[in-house]
Amino acid sequence: MGVNNKELVFNISREEFVDLKTYRERGGYTALQKALRQPPESSIQELKSAGLRGRGGAAFPTAVKIEMVRNNGETGRYVICNADEGEPGTFKDRFIMTHLPFQVIEGITLAAYLAGAENGYIYVRHEYPEVQRILRESIKEAEEAGLLGEDILGSGIRLKLEIFSGAGSYLCGEETALLSSIEGRKGRPRVKPPYPTQSGLWNKPTLINNVETLANIPKIIEKGSGWYRSIGTADSTGTKLISLSGDVVNRGLIEVPFGITFADIIEEYGLGAKPGRTVKAVNIGGASGVLVPGFMLETPLEYTACAKAGITIGSGAIFVLDDTRPILPNVHNRVKFFLHESCGKCTPCREGLRQANVILSKLLSGMATESDVVLLERYTRAIQEASFCGLGQAAGNSLKSSLEYFHEEYLAACGQECRDKEETA
């Protein structure tokens, strides 16, 4: 892809903590200075031209979201940085916050200024105490340097930024559950609309963005949309952080330009399957994502191409399974995870996942029949199509894709004893 010498958004090959002094020496906070000198609409237009889309999973255009909050007549708006990072196999936001905290804080400050918010939270999962410590210290340092708090850089603009710790619920990463959690209520999803941009935290217009999304903003304002669009493709601009794990030689966090194929990510960055093994399946998008076979890996990492292929980019987690791995235990683990995290509010998610868990347990102990597999397909459709929130809707992804691409493994798991019984019945 010819990106090795090109400056990217995170340049994560420099594996060090970037303190405020170093961040500023490398151009940090020139974006905020620039944005404060020009009308907010010009910076919003720059983000629009750059084509930045949310990196938290839904890929919503960031500038449009900022504009929705800005154009809302209500005062007392909020900005929230979603740092819950609960998606299994995802560790990109942790890296940004522990290595480049000021890039996120500058991004939040810019987003707040453009949206007209004066109060903000970083919602950090409680399993990240080190991240919380680093962010607290960095916020204090930014305040002392006049980059946060009252009268930012002498502009009269203010932003009070606080850390809010989650309590271990995956569902609280969902934006409306997250709002309830900050308000001190049960972290349960709310009906949408109204969207947080219309009525969010304490019913005020609220901008919620992922850590990676917000950390892209300073680079775009500093270097311009033309620079940003020169990375990636016309459809999907810029870079994506990928949490690469599983059966590859080289695991870890990488930054890739959009447009690269999944096969190239695995070969060029992951250095392929382990010696003597081949890639059998790849889970793309974390536990909420799909399980696809090797022949689909020539699909480019691009929103439109992936949507057409039925691939969910999600948080950008890629987990590789080699030819020694059976598919069913992997799917079963995901189902157990979602069953544990389901809040139980709606029947398709609560009961559908419970039934899927029972059938997968039967399959794995050789006690299932082919009619159980048919039933599993029906439950999967119900879970995906009728669940109230994104947790349930996405929980069926690995079930559906594995039932489609690895159907023979489901059939092979049906016990001979049970099959005989079914035939004589």
Ligand X SMILES: Cc1cc2nc3c(=O)[nH]c(=O)nc-3n(C[C@H](O)[C@H](O)[C@H](O)COP(=O)(O)O)c2cc1C
CB of 403 to ligand X, least distance (A): 22
Backbone angles phi, psi at 89, to 5 degrees: 85, 5
DSSP bridge pairs for 398: none
CB 98 within 8 A of CB 134: yes
Per-residue x/- mask for ligand X, residues 370 to 389, rule CB under 6 A?
Answer: -------------------x
The smaller minimum CB distance to ligand X, of residues 56 and 259, is found at 56
| DSSP category for residue 17 | -
Burial zone of 205 (CB within 10 Å; 0-12 exposed, 13-18 middle, 19+ buried) = buried
Q: Which residue, 53 or 223, is less far from ligand X as judged by CB?
A: 53
Provide, rounded to whole angstroms, the least separation between the CB of residue 392 and ligand SF4: 3
Interface with ligand X (CB under 6 A), residue from 209, 216, 225, 402: 209
Residue (of 283, 263, 261) closest to 272 by Cα position: 263
CB of 61 to ligand X, least distance (A): 9
**Contact pick of 51, 173, 232, 259 for ligand X (by CB under 6 A):** 173
Contacts with ligand SF4 by CB under 6 A lie at: 171, 189, 342-346, 349-350, 387-389, 391-392
DSSP assignment, residue 266? Answer: I
Contact letters for ligand X, residues 70-99 (x by CB under 6 A): ------------x-xxxx------------
d(CA 138, CA 132): 10
Residue nearest to ligand SF4 (CB): 392
Smallest separation (angstroms) from ligand SF4 to the CB of 342: 4
Alpha-carbon distance of 15 to 160, in angstroms, equals 30
Residue placing its CB nearer to ligand X in the complex, 58 or 412:
58
- Whether 206 and 77 have beta carbons less than 8 Å apart is answered as yes
Q: Which two tokens stand for residue 13?
A: 């090959």
To the nearest whole angstrom, how small is the minimum distance from the Cβ of residue 213 to ligand X? 3
- Residue 140 or 192 with smaller CB distance to ligand X: 192
Contact 352, 383 (CB under 8 A): yes
Decide if 234 contacts 305 (C-beta within 8 A). Answer: no
Residues that contact ligand X, how many (by CB under 6 A): 22
Query: Please, what is the minimum distance in Å from the beta carbon of residue 186 to ligand SF4?
Result: 11
Q: Which residues pair with 241 in a beta bridge?
A: 255
Core vs surface per residue 374-399: b (16+ CB within 10 A) or e: ebbeebbebbbeebbbbbbbbbbbbb
What single string gives the DSSP state of each residue in 178-220?
HHHHHTTS------SSSPTTTS-GGGS-EEEEEHHHHHHHHHH
Which positions from 27 to 56 touch ligand X by CB under 6 A, shown as an x/- string?
A: ---------------------------xxx
> Of 43, 210, 342, 398, which one interacts with ligand X (CB under 6 A)?
210
C-beta of 216: minimal distance to ligand X in Å? 9
Q: Which of 67, 175, 222, 302 binds ligand X (CB under 6 A)?
A: 175
Nearer to ligand X, 58 or 234 (CB): 58
Which residues contact ligand X by CB under 6 A?
Answer: 54-58, 60, 82, 84-87, 171, 173-175, 208-210, 213, 389-391
